[in-house]
Amino acid sequence: MKIIMVKLLSIIDPYKMAVKQLRNAVELLGYDKSVFEILSKPQRVLEVNIPVRMDDGSVIVFTGYRVQHNNALGPYKGGVRYHPNVTRNEVIALSMWMTWKCSVTGLPYGGGKGGVIVDPRRLSIRELEELSRGYIRAIAPIIGPEKDIPAPDVYTDPQIMAWFMDEFSKLKGYNVPAVVTAKPEELWGSKGRIYSTGLGVAIIAREAARKIGIDISNARVVVQGYGNVGFFTAKFLHDVGAKIIAVSDSKGGVYDPKGLDPEKVMEFKRKTGSVIKYPGASTITNEEILLLETDILVPAAIEGVITLDNAASIKAKIIVEGANGPTTPEADKILFKKGVKVVPDILANAGGVIVSYFEWVQNLQGHVWSEEEVKERLERHIEHAFHRVWLKAERDSIDLRTAAYLVAVERVVKAMKLRGWI
109 or 236: CB nearest ligand GLU: 109
Per rule CB under 6 A, is residue 103 in the interface with ligand GLU? no
**CA–CA separation, 327 vs 319, rounded Å?**
10
Q: Is 158 in the site for ligand GLU (CB under 6 A)?
A: no
Instruction: Indicate which residue of 113, 183, 191, 269 is catalytic.
Output: 113
Residue 181 lies near ligand GLU (rule: CB under 6 A): yes
Compare residues 78 and 304 and give the one whose CB is closer to ligand GLU.
Answer: 78
Q: State the minimum distance, in angstroms, from the CB of residue 316 to ligand GLU.
A: 22
Nearest approach, Cβ of 322 to ligand GLU (angstroms)?
10
353 and 106 in contact (C-beta within 8 Å)?
no
| Residue nearer to ligand GLU on the CB measure, 95 or 248 | 95
Segment contacting ligand GLU (CB under 6 A): 71-79, 119-127, 139-147, 285-293? 71-79
Task: Note whether 340 and 297 are within 8 A (CB).
Answer: no
Beta carbons of 143 and 168 less than 8 angstroms apart: yes
Q: Of 223 and 334, which CB lies nearer to ligand GLU in the complex structure? A: 223
Minimum CB separation of residue 158 from ligand GLU in Å reads 12
Among 151, 242, 314, 316, binds ligand GLU (CB under 6 A): 151
CB closest to ligand GLU, residue no: 79
111 binds ligand GLU (CB under 6 A): no
Q: How far is the CB of 352 from ligand GLU (least distance, A)?
A: 4
Question: Given the complex with ligand GLU, which of 21 and 294 has the nearer CB atom?
Answer: 21
Q: Is 177 in the site for ligand GLU (CB under 6 A)?
A: no
Classify burial at 300, counting beta carbons within 10 Å of its beta carbon; exposed 0-12, middle 13-18, buried 19 or more.
Answer: buried
Q: Which of residues 239-298 bind ligand GLU (CB under 6 A)?
A: none
Q: Is 324 in the site for ligand GLU (CB under 6 A)?
A: yes
State the DSSP code for 318.
E
Closest CA to 352 of 372, 378, 326: 378
Asked if 95 interacts with ligand GLU (CB under 6 A), we say no
Residues forming a β-bridge with 64:
48, 116
Count, residues near ligand GLU per rule CB under 6 A = 13
Respond yes or no: is residue 211 known to be catalytic.
no
Q: Minimum distance between the CB of residue 51 and ligand GLU, rounded to whole angstroms?
A: 26
Residue type, 11: I
Of the listed pieces 31-39, 348-356, 381-389, 411-419, which binds ligand GLU according to CB under 6 A? 348-356
Query: Please, where are the H alpha helices in 178-308?
Result: 193-211, 228-239, 262-272
- Find out whether 243 and 256 touch, Cβ atoms under 8 Å: no
In the list 21, 228, 356, 363, the residue contacting ligand GLU (rule: CB under 6 A) is: 356
Query: Rule CB under 6 A: is residue 352 a binding residue for ligand GLU?
Result: yes
CB neighbourhood size of 219 (10 A): 22
Min. distance of Cβ 78 from ligand GLU in angstroms? 5
* Shortest Å distance, C-beta 332 to ligand GLU: 19
Q: Which stretch binds ligand GLU (CB under 6 A): 72-80, 124-132, 334-342, 378-386?
A: 72-80
Chosen residue from 14, 64, 75, 78 binding ligand GLU by CB under 6 A: 78
- CA 362 – CA 416 distance, rounded (Å): 28
Distance CA 94, CA 306 (A): 17
Are 128 and 162 within 8 A, CB to CB?
no
User: C-alpha 175: how far from its chain's center?
Assistant: 28
Say which DSSP state 189 is in.
P
Quote the least distance from Cβ 419 to ligand GLU, whole Å.
Answer: 23
**153: contact with ligand GLU by CB under 6 A:** yes
Contacts of 410 (CB under 8 A, 6+ apart): 29
CA distances for 164 relative to 47, 109, 149, 175, 311, angstroms: 17, 20, 11, 12, 39
Q: In whole angstroms, give the CA distance from residue 390 to residue 375.
A: 22
Q: Are 40 and 22 in contact (CB under 8 A)?
A: yes
**CA-to-CA separations, 291 to 84, 294, 299, 387, in angstroms, rounded:** 27, 9, 11, 28
Q: Which is nearer to ligand GLU, 35 or 182 (CB)?
A: 182
Active-site annotation, residues = 113
Residues that bind ligand GLU (CB under 6 A): 77-79, 101, 151, 153, 181-182, 324, 349, 352-353, 356
